[in-house]
Amino acid sequence: MADTIMKAAARGIVTDEIKEIARQERLDPERVRRLIARGRVAVLRNVRRSGRVRLVAVGEQMFSKVNANIGTSGTVVDIEAEREKARIARRYGADTLMDLSMGGPLDEIREKVMREAEPLPVGTVPTYQAWVEGLRRYGGLGIPSDFFIKIVERQLRQGVDYMTIHAALTKRLAEKAVRSSRVIPITSRGGALLAAWMLENGEENPYRQHWDYLLELFAEHDAVISIGDSLRPGSIFDQHDELQVAELVEAARLVRSARGAYVQTIVEGPGHMTLDQIAANVRLEKQLTDGAPYYVLGPLPTDAAMAYDHIALAIGGALALWAGADYLCYVTPAEHLSLPTPEQVKQGVIAARIAAHAADLAKYGARAAARDARVSIARARLDWASMLKNAFDPEEAARIHAQYGIRTRACDMCGQYCACLVLGKHMKGRLEPSEEQLLERLGSGAFLP
Ligand code: SF4
C-alpha cells in the first residue's frame, strides 16, 4: 500500500501535492509538509475520479474553505435539480461538496453528483445510506453493525473523498442525550439515526466497534475522516453543555488514534451558538485536538433567522473562522424550512464565501486581499468592468448596476452628484496607490484576540 499523504509528510517528503498546496496557499512547502505531518492540515482531493486533480487543504494557516451540502431528501427526489445544485455550488466558489441524499437510487445519484461536481472533492455521510438500505434489507433496526462499514467500503470504492463518521457519539452519550433537559436532544440527522440504532439494539456505535478497520480502509484510499458532531447544539439554549463538550473530548481521542495510523481527520463543530461563545469553542477544539482542522456547521448565532439563515451563518461563520476555525459548511435560506432549491444553494454558497473571505482578510491580511485591492482601485476609477468582474456574483452585480439603465459614468445611487465625478478634476495628477502598495498597508492580519 502506498504511503498516505500524511505518512509521506511525516517521513519528511515534500510531495508534488504538497508543493501544489504551498503554491495555492502562498506558503513555504516545508511549512505545509510539517502541518500535514502533524495532522493540523488535512488534504481533501479528488484524485481517484478524474485526471483533473483538485487539492483542498483545510487547517491551520490555510485559506478558509467552504463546503456546500446538496442531495435528495426522503420526500423530495429530483436528480436533475441535484445536478444543477452541484454545478451552481462549483460555479459560485464552493471548495467541496457533500452529497447527503437519502431518497431515490443513492449510488446513481452520487455518481451523477460527483460527475457534475468535478473537480471538487465530494464527501458523504455513509450512515444515511446504511440506514435507508439497512431498513429495507433487514426490515427494521436489526441492521448488523458491519453493514454500516460495508457502506463505507462501497462509497470509498466509488470514489468518495471524505466522509462524516459520527464515531464520537458513544452509546452512553446517546442514552444521556435522549434523557437530557436539552431543548433539542440531538439535532444531527446522522447522530439521531445512530443513537436510535444503539438504543434499539443495546450495542455500541458501529463505527467505534469497527474503528481500527475503518482506519485501515481510509488509509488504503487515503481519504479523510470528518468526525461528526452528533451532539452539537441545535439551539443556542443547549450550547456548551456537558453533552457537547463530552463528545468533543471523544472526538479528540479519535483524532489521536487516527494520526497514529496516518489517517487524516477533521473535527466537526456547531451548530447553534451565540457570538460570545464562538471563539471559546474554537479554542477548546484546537486545544483538545492539538490543532486538528475544525469544520464548523455555522455556527448560527440566533435560532430565529428562518429564511435568512445564510446571513446568520455568515455572521457566526466569519467569527468562527477568524477565531481559528478552518472550514465552513454553508447554510441556505431554506435551512430549518425545506430542502433548498438551486437558487437557494447559490445564495448559501455566496454568503459562506463572503464570510470565509472576510475572515481571511482579518487573519491573513495582504495574503488574502488581492481581490479587494483590485475592487478598491476600480471603484475609485469608476472602472465598472473590473469592479463587476471581481464581485462574488458578477452577473447579479451587473444586473443591479444596470437596473435603472446606465446614464452616467457613475451609478444611479448619486448619479451626476457622484463623489468621484464631483472631485474628478481636482484629483487630476494625483498619485494613485498601486495594488502592491494597498496590500502593504494591510499588513499580515491577526487572529481574533
Ligand atoms: S454614484 Fe455614488 S454610489 Fe455610485 S459610484 Fe459614485 S459615489 Fe459611489
Clarify whether residues 278 and 407 are in a common domain.
no
Which residue minimizes the CA distance to atom 7 of ligand 1?
418
> In this structure, are residues 314 and 272 in contact, taking their beta carbons and an 8 Å threshold?
no
Regions in the chain scoring below 70 on pLDDT: none
- The per-residue pLDDT for 424 is 87
- The answer to whether the peptide bond before residue 299 is cis (omega within 30 degrees of 0) is yes
Task: Please tell me if the CB atom of residue 414 comes closer than 6 angstroms to any atom of ligand 1.
Answer: yes
Strand ranges, E, within 270-420: 294-296, 327-329
Q: Nearest to residue 57, comparing CAs of 46, 69, 67, 45?
A: 45
Which residue minimizes the CA distance to atom 3 of ligand 1?
413
Which atom of ligand 1 approaches the CA of 408 most closely? Answer: 1
Instruction: Look at residues 351, 366, 381 and tell me which one is the last residue of a structural domain.
Output: 366
Q: Is residue 3 part of a domain?
A: no
Burial of 170 (0-12, 13-18, 19+ CB in 10 A): middle
Clarify whether residues 228 and 373 are in a common domain.
no
- Spatial distance between the Cα atoms of 44 and 264, rounded to a whole number of angstroms: 9
Measured from the Cβ of residue 190, the count of other Cβ atoms closer than 10 Å reads 22
Q: Is residue 42 part of a domain?
A: no
Task: Please tell me if the CB atom of residue 418 comes closer than 6 angstroms to any atom of ligand 1.
Answer: yes
| pTM: predicted TM-score of the whole model, two decimal places | 0.96
What's the Cα-to-Cα distance from 261 to each of 142, 216, 230, 295, rounded to whole Å? Answer: 31, 8, 24, 21
pLDDT tens per residue, range 197-213: 999 999 999 999 999 99
Task: Please tell me if the CB atom of residue 378 comes closer than 6 angstroms to any atom of ligand 1.
Answer: no
- Structural domain that includes position 390: 369-442
- The per-residue pLDDT for 298 is 86
Rg over alpha carbons for the chain, rounded to the nearest Å, is 23
- The answer to whether the peptide bond before residue 271 is cis (omega within 30 degrees of 0) is yes
Clarify whether residues 91 and 223 are in a common domain.
yes
Clarify whether residues 338 and 400 are in a common domain.
no
Residue 420 CA to ligand 1 center (angstroms) comes to: 7
Residue 368 CA to ligand 1 center (angstroms) comes to: 26
> In this structure, are residues 273 and 237 in contact, taking their beta carbons and an 8 Å threshold?
no
Clarify whether residues 413 and 339 are in a common domain.
no
> In this structure, are residues 80 and 42 in contact, taking their beta carbons and an 8 Å threshold?
no
> In this structure, are residues 283 and 302 in contact, taking their beta carbons and an 8 Å threshold?
no
Residue 405 CA to ligand 1 center (angstroms) comes to: 15
What's the Cα-to-Cα distance from 376 to each of 202, 367, 421, 440, rounded to whole Å? Answer: 61, 16, 16, 14
Task: Please tell me if the CB atom of residue 406 comes closer than 6 angstroms to any atom of ligand 1.
Answer: no
CATH of the domain at 263: 3.20.20.540
pLDDT tens per residue, range 133-181: 999 999 999 999 999 999 999 999 999 999 999 999 999 999 999 999 9
Q: Is residue 135 part of a domain?
A: yes
Task: Please tell me if the CB atom of residue 420 comes closer than 6 angstroms to any atom of ligand 1.
Answer: yes
Q: Is residue 269 part of a domain?
A: yes
Clarify whether residues 355 and 416 are in a common domain.
no
- Spatial distance between the Cα atoms of 376 and 438, rounded to a whole number of angstroms: 9
- Spatial distance between the Cα atoms of 413 and 388, rounded to a whole number of angstroms: 16
Q: Is residue 26 part of a domain?
A: no
- Spatial distance between the Cα atoms of 356 and 319, rounded to a whole number of angstroms: 9
Which residue minimizes the CA distance to atom 4 of ligand 1?
411
- The per-residue pLDDT for 318 is 98
Clarify whether residues 230 and 343 are in a common domain.
yes
- The per-residue pLDDT for 53 is 86
Which atom of ligand 1 approaches the CA of 421 most closely? Answer: 6
Task: Please tell me if the CB atom of residue 419 comes closer than 6 angstroms to any atom of ligand 1.
Answer: yes
- Spatial distance between the Cα atoms of 309 and 315, rounded to a whole number of angstroms: 10
Clarify whether residues 314 and 254 are in a common domain.
yes
Q: Is residue 287 part of a domain?
A: yes
- Spatial distance between the Cα atoms of 152 and 156, rounded to a whole number of angstroms: 6
Residue 411 CA to ligand 1 center (angstroms) comes to: 5
Q: Which helix (H) or strand (E) holds 252?
A: helix 242-260
Task: Please tell me if the CB atom of residue 423 comes closer than 6 angstroms to any atom of ligand 1.
Answer: no
Three state DSSP letters for 306-336: CCCHHHHHHHHHHHHHHCCCCEEECCCCCCC
List for the chain the helix, strand, coil content (%; round to 5). Answer: 50, 10, 35
Task: Please tell me if the CB atom of residue 387 comes closer than 6 angstroms to any atom of ligand 1.
Answer: no
Q: Which three cell numbers stand for residue 101?
A: 441524499
Clarify whether residues 354 and 394 are in a common domain.
no
Return the DSSP state at 165: E
Instruction: Look at residues 366, 389, 410 and tell me which one is the last residue of a structural domain.
Output: 366
Clarify whether residues 164 and 257 are in a common domain.
yes
- The answer to whether the peptide bond before residue 119 is cis (omega within 30 degrees of 0) is yes
- The per-residue pLDDT for 50 is 72
DSSP string, 107-130: HHHHHHHHHHHTTS-EEE-HHHHH
Largest Cα–Cα separation, the chain? 80
- The per-residue pLDDT for 14 is 98
Cβ burial 59-76 (10 Å sphere, 16+ → b, else e)? bbbbbbbbbbbbbbeeee
Which residue minimizes the CA distance to atom 6 of ligand 1?
418
Q: Is residue 187 part of a domain?
A: yes
pLDDT tens per residue, range 357-373: 999 999 999 999 999 99
- The per-residue pLDDT for 48 is 75
Clarify whether residues 100 and 235 are in a common domain.
yes
Instruction: Look at residues 347, 366, 385 and tell me which one is the last residue of a structural domain.
Output: 366
Which atom of ligand 1 approaches the CA of 417 most closely? Answer: 1
Q: Count the domains in the chain.
A: 2
Residue 42 CA to ligand 1 center (angstroms) comes to: 43
